[in-house]
Amino acid sequence: MMSMSTSPPATPTGVQTDDQGLILPKKLINPCMENTDRKELHRELKFNARIGKSVLNQKTELQRAYEKQKERHAAAIEQHSPETELAGLKGELGRVIMERAQKHGAAAQKQDAEDAEERQYVNPEYLNVRAKLRTAHAPN
């Protein structure tokens, strides 16, 4: 029969166990935190923060000039966009249409006034012809 021993079972190499034979947890390695470039950058940022120098948002003169040019270009495009030109065209077109409508209305009123005046005015030649017809067809 097998003899029972109180010693913990054998563990693979490199694994730490406690006195009861349980595997002890170990901290996992974070590759991002272990990166040397990240460590150097973090060290530099901490140093600059300590001395009060802002290294973030620093741009070269060329980058600043390029961004300013892009902003001016975007503003110019927005100012001359087809929508604003169309709105201006609609405004001008609407104004011209209203002027023409007013002119047409005034011309129509003038024509109506002339027609009414012509109706009131009777041509004397018409009266002479009518009088002759009456006398020719008058009952005797």
- Over residues 48-101, the pLDDT tens digits come to 888 887 777 777 888 889 999 999 999 988 887 666 656 666 788 888 888 999
Predicted TM-score (pTM) of the model is 0.26
- Strand, coil or helix: 49: helix
Q: Which of 8-22, 39-53, 97-111 has the lowest mean pLDDT?
A: 8-22
Residue with tokens 């009060």: 52
CA distance 127 to 19: 142
Do 38 and 46 form a contact (C-beta atoms < 8 A)?
no
According to the model, what pLDDT value does residue 20 have?
A: 92
Q: 3-state SS of the chain: helix, strand, coil percent to 5?
A: 65, 0, 35
- Residue 12 and residue 21: Cα distance in Å, rounded? 12
17 bridge partner residues:
23
